[in-house]
Structure 1
Amino acid sequence: HHTGRETYFTPAAWVFNVWTIINALLLGFVVYQFFAPSREVVDGIGWRFALVGILNAIFVHVWVTRHYIVAFIFALLLASSISTAYYSLTAHYGPKSIGDTLFVHLPFSLWHAWSIVLVIISAFSLFTHSHRNHPSTLSVILVVVAEAFLTLTAVGYAFRSREGDIAGSAVLFCVLLGIYQEQASQVIRYCALAGAIVSGLAIVKSLYFTFVSRDRGVSLGSDDERRPLVA
């Protein structure tokens, strides 16, 4: 957070702990893949894990060294690669155990949502002026559009299946809440707060259908009809 360029989209520092959580879960993934029950679902990731690991390392390096053009390019490559792994898991390798959920599906759900955030942060770092300046009308509009996009994506995660993707929605909820806490512009702050509220309601929906209404005959459409908004 403190090594990159501050922007009008940058959330509060605590939001970047999402990355720490992802890395801890991925360490669990590395260990979990050596156990027999994980074999099938780990195949859903395959070679992509090595690829996204390399892309992530390159992105972090060019980001902290402030090469924002290269960082934006690698953020796009990272998001695309994570998306292929995410959709492989969700479409063909559903979780069959707590281990599958905790060490395979959860980290890649978090990472997929976080990769979207990294693309947007990288874009603002590259294409907008320093955070020290008063935001122009155009900057405010662009940030509000980005906040609306994250909000709609969080809703898309919640409605991608009957239970939805709680982890993906939660990441975007945290980012929007972090923007509300971090930024000074009232328009940016309260649009972020509105987005966080909508995202929170989407999470409540997913929690309800996951834990309360699991056995009831309520359908919100097939997985193909309810995919997240970003591929």
Structure 2
Amino acid sequence: MRASNPYKWGNLLLFLGVIAVNTLSVTLPLGGNSTAEISDRYHTYLTPAGYAFSIWSVIYLLLAGFVIYQFRSSTGARDSVQRIGIWFMLSCLFNMGWLLLWHYLYIELSLAAMVLLLLSLIVIYRRTRFIPNPTTGEKWLVRLPFSLYLGWISVATIVNVSVVLVKNDWGGFGLSGPFWAVIMLCVGTVLAVLVSFPYRDSIYPLVFVWAYIAIAVEHKDTNEVYFTGLIAAGLLLLYSIWLLLTPRRSRNRY
């Protein structure tokens, strides 16, 4: 166990910055554009129903738990917290950058910011998966927040790519929008399995279940997207349950 986390004040200030920017994006809103208005302007066959975005409340609540956890003298010096290092601060900067660029309609640049956010979360996620004999605090306040966060940003990146393509009138190589949506839903399903299986992480694919059901609900009149979303969500739900029921000796559970 090392000295107290040297990044704890930076983590706190930048996390508060994320909350502030998120609040302004709703109350002002930033750029005079609400998230719903931008979503409607660049609506794609992968755009989820509006309720899906309520997952941010859970993510930020858990991240607040992480920030508090790393301030405690008995836990902030643990290797599980120290390994995250500067990456949480970077993730906060990329999160704020994405929100500002998105609301001011720099859509292509917002995708670049989201990819950087995704990469920073991948680094954090991998580091949190190698905690030997995690304590209850580490399971709930170090591992869980970043499994959920990475899961949602993984889905959001796929959606943002589709937004950029729609904005730029991409022809889809002659294939229809619903067909490409089906392809991307399948790609996302494979991604959810490939990322979660090595770590026996049942939370990461559950985020895809949440998102896919919301996509199906939003596109219930487009049969290809609707049924693919529901079937993929069902398969990932069964897969998550299977991971959850895997014997403890073969994986670290939440």
TM-score interval, smaller chain = 0.7 to 0.9
Which residue of structure 2 lines up, in the alignment, with residue 151 of structure 1? 189
The 5-angstrom pairing of residues 109-188 of structure 1 reads 109-128=147-166, 137-161=175-199, 164-183=200-219, 184-188=221-225
Which residue of structure 2 lines up, in the alignment, with residue 74 of structure 1? 113
Q: 1:31 aligns with which of 68, 72, 85?
A: 68
8 Å Cα contact 2:179/2:224 also seen in 1: no
- Report how far residue 16 of structure 1 moved: 1.0
The 5-angstrom pairing of residues 83-102 of structure 1 reads 83-90=122-129, 92-94=130-132, 96-102=134-140
Whole-angstrom distance in 1 between the partners of 2:132 and 2:213: 30
Residue 100 of structure 2 corresponds to residue 61 of structure 1: yes
User: What runs of 5+ residues in structure 2 fail to find an aligned partner?
Assistant: 1-34, 169-173
Coordinate RMSD, CA, aligned: 2.1
User: What runs of 5+ residues in structure 1 fail to find an aligned partner?
Assistant: 131-135, 224-231
Name the amino acid aligned to 1:125: V
SS in structure 2 of the partner of residue 93 of structure 1: coil
% identity of equivalent residues: 25
- Report how far residue 94 of structure 1 moved: 4.2
From the superposition, tell whether residues 3 and 103 of structure 1 become closer, same or farther in structure 2 (CA, over 3 Å): farther
Which residue of structure 2 lines up, in the alignment, with residue 196 of structure 1? 233
Larger Rg: 2
Name the amino acid aligned to 1:204: I
Q: What TM-score comes out, normalization by structure 1 length?
A: 0.82
Runs of 4+ off more than 6 Å: none
- Report how far residue 76 of structure 1 moved: 0.8
The 5-angstrom pairing of residues 13-52 of structure 1 reads 13-35=50-72, 36-39=74-77, 40-52=79-91
From the superposition, tell whether residues 38 and 101 of structure 1 become closer, same or farther in structure 2 (CA, over 3 Å): farther
- Report how far residue 154 of structure 1 moved: 2.5
Question: How many equivalent pairs are there?
Answer: 207
Higher RCO (CA 8 Å, separation ≥ 6 residues): 1
8 Å Cα contact 1:158/1:202 also seen in 2: no
Name the amino acid aligned to 2:138: D
Which residue of structure 2 lines up, in the alignment, with residue 229 of structure 1? none
Q: What TM-score comes out, normalization by structure 2 length?
A: 0.75
8 Å Cα contact 1:154/1:202 also seen in 2: no
From the superposition, tell whether residues 61 and 82 of structure 1 become closer, same or farther in structure 2 (CA, over 3 Å): same
